[in-house]
Chain A
């Protein structure tokens, strides 16, 4: 298996632009997680899905952030409009049937908003 795939790996954009991050989880995994990592705040859970349904989005910072999972093999995290404080590394992770199972992380997308 190729593991969790994220794209793009790097994104540089200007304030106010829309940004879309993409994730392909490991085949057969039922849970998908979106995290954000910064030096100041560490690794924060933004939202997670179970069987394509959002379960907990309380970590989403504000309405500018939205996430979708249209099918079991694809998810997007969208920021519109983007702001400089959104600059961070965004990770997608997936895990198996039981919550608390090992999470497998993708390589991350480094986002820079100018």
Chain B
């Protein structure tokens, strides 16, 4: 089965710095990789999707990279703000009819002023 590892359980950075979160996976390569944000007491919220044939995807202050050779995705938040504090989850699927979405355990990001 697919194994997903997110770099650490918690990451603390100062406001204004760039936060970099890592998602590593084993076994087969996914057709898609997605990043979600989860705030306490709420369900995950979709942020970005990147396909296997894409190297990079950007959305405002967010950037995702996807390296299928390293089996790794990096998630960057530039000019971080305290409001970015949350847990970030990566999720993989195979784009096939099997359809399971595998989630990592998440990285809890805290941005302090």
Contacts and interface: CB of A to CB of B under 8 A. Distances in A.
Interface string A41-64: 011110010100001100100000
Given A42-B106, A43-B89, A104 B46 contact: yes
Nearest to A106: B43
- Size range of the chain B interface in the assembly: 20 to 34
Contacts of B45: 105
Interface string A25-48: 000000101000000001111001
B71 interface: no
A42 B103 contact: yes
Interface residues of A, number: 23
B22 to A, nearest CB: 16
A43 B42 CA distance: 13
Contact of B49 (A59, A102, A108): A102
A51 to B, nearest CB: 13
A91 B44 CA distance: 9
Nearest to A58: B100
Contacts of B46: 102-104
A93 interface: yes
A70 interface: no
A102 B47 CA distance: 9
B42 A100 contact: no
Given A43-B89, A105-B44, 4 more contacts: A56-B100, A106-B43, A108-B41, A108-B43
Interface of A: 4, 31, 33, 42-45, 48, 50, 55-56, 59, 91, 93, 99-100, 102-108
30 contacts: A31-B99, A33-B101, A42-B106, A43-B103, A43-B106, A44-B103, A45-B101, A48-B99, A48-B100, A50-B99, A55-B99, A56-B98, A56-B99, A91-B43, A91-B44, A99-B93, A99-B95, A99-B96, A99-B97, A100-B49, A100-B93, A100-B95, A102-B46, A102-B49, A103-B46, A105-B44, A107-B41, A107-B43, A108-B42, A108-B43
